[in-house]
Amino acid sequence: MAATHTLLDPDTLSRAEPLGLFARRVVEGYRVGEHRSPFNGFAIEFSQHREYSPGDDPRHLDWKILGRSDKYYIKQYEQDTNFVAHLLLDGSASMSFASGTVSKIQYARGLVACLSFLILQQRDAVTATIFDDRPRETFQRTDSLGKVHQLCTQLTNFTPARPGNLRACLQDYAARLSARGIVVVISDLLDDPADLLQGLRRLSLTRSEVIVFQVLDNEEITFPLEGNVRFIGLEDDSRLQTNPADLRKSYLAAFNEHQKAVRRACEQCGVHYTLCDTSRPLAEALTGYLAFRSKAG
């Protein structure tokens, strides 16, 4: 249970819980719930008429049409459903970086755990996958809030060690999606933005709603380093000894261009994008996004 208490930040949950995470698009669930389904049922909101067929429930006959035309028509309604949230966590080696007390992977674990808690509490379902250059760990779909501690344990036990391949993993996951839902991608996105765009495009073909949280260390964003520094690659064996002041201007220019390309890729695919700075509280990033989402409808 220690992992559960570590990842489920009480402040984040107390601030995020009133906002919730509800589907903005049509979803395909497996039981009646809170969200609009593409399938017709006999509840909630009128959708259309269809001709009566033997075996249909006569309680749903439209008696006004019968009286006017002597024809039998059934009223059909939009059926509400629950959704499945697919949480995709980048577990590549670059996610282990930390300039302070919280690494990117620690921050991302907390985000997955808190999102899972919120989604399960509102009686929707969650499945989680940790990937680098391919899927490494999978937490099977559940709608039981009691399974959160198992998910937290699995998240805590995973250690990033391999290079990543975001495009391949997103495309592979999209190919295996069998129903529309919500896909949440949590990554530092330190990949070619063109690869990100291809991955997001493939996910968008599933007609699922896609959300992207980019998790970055503050030093990656601001590059405040001073003195003589030795840079060591996290996903390869590269080494560079230099004065960061000589690189700061070109680094920040390249970083800002990369961020523009990331945001542009998300915009082109209709994806909600949120930047998470690990030096800022998780509650700030998550509740900020959920508040924006509720206003955006």
Mean pLDDT of 26-35: 44
Mean pLDDT of 5-19: 85
Candidates 106, 85, 271, 90; CA nearest to 168 is 90
CA–CA dist 166, 142 (Å, integer): 25
pLDDT for the residue 5: 53
pLDDT surpassing 60 at residue 23 = no
Q: How many CB atoms lie within 10 A of CB 206?
A: 19
CA–CA dist 18, 49 (Å, integer): 37
pLDDT for the residue 42: 40
- In this predicted model, which residue has the larger pLDDT, 3 or 40? 3
Structure tokens at 112: 């997955």
Q: What is the mean pLDDT of the chain?
A: 85
Tens-digit pLDDT profile for residues 82-110: 678 999 999 999 999 999 999 999 999 99
pLDDT for the residue 36: 47
pLDDT for the residue 80: 43
Going by pLDDT thresholds of 50, 70 and 90, the confidence category of residue 65 is confident
Tens-digit pLDDT profile for residues 162-206: 999 999 999 999 999 988 889 999 999 999 999 999 999 999 999
CA–CA dist 53, 156 (Å, integer): 55
Mean pLDDT of 220-242: 85
Secondary structure of residue 294 in the 3-state scheme = helix
pLDDT for the residue 30: 44
Q: Do 213 and 186 form a contact (C-beta atoms < 8 A)?
A: yes
Tens-digit pLDDT profile for residues 269-295: 999 999 999 999 999 999 999 998 888
pLDDT for the residue 24: 53
Q: Do 123 and 83 form a contact (C-beta atoms < 8 A)?
A: no
What pTM was estimated for this model as a whole?
A: 0.79
Candidates 185, 222, 235; CA nearest to 100 is 222
Run of H or E including 131: strand 125-131
Structure tokens at 159: 């250690």
Tens-digit pLDDT profile for residues 71-89: 777 665 544 446 789 999 9
pLDDT for the residue 37: 44
Going by pLDDT thresholds of 50, 70 and 90, the confidence category of residue 127 is very high
Q: Do 205 and 190 form a contact (C-beta atoms < 8 A)?
A: no
Q: Do 278 and 216 form a contact (C-beta atoms < 8 A)?
A: yes
Q: What is the gyration radius of the CA atoms in the chain, in angstroms?
A: 23
Structure tokens at 191: 């990949």
Domain extents in the chain = 2-29+83-296, 35-81
- Share above pLDDT 70 across residues of the chain, in percent, rounded to a whole number: 82
Going by pLDDT thresholds of 50, 70 and 90, the confidence category of residue 18 is confident
CA–CA dist 275, 222 (Å, integer): 14
Mean pLDDT of 213-225: 96
Q: Do 128 and 151 form a contact (C-beta atoms < 8 A)?
A: yes
Strands 272-277 and 239-242: unpaired
CA–CA dist 125, 28 (Å, integer): 12
Annotation: CATH topology of 2-29+83-296: Rossmann fold (3.40.50)
pLDDT surpassing 80 at residue 111 = yes
Candidates 103, 170, 104; CA nearest to 132 is 170
Candidates 23, 3, 146, 42; CA nearest to 86 is 23
Least reliable range by pLDDT among 19-28, 69-78, 105-114:
19-28
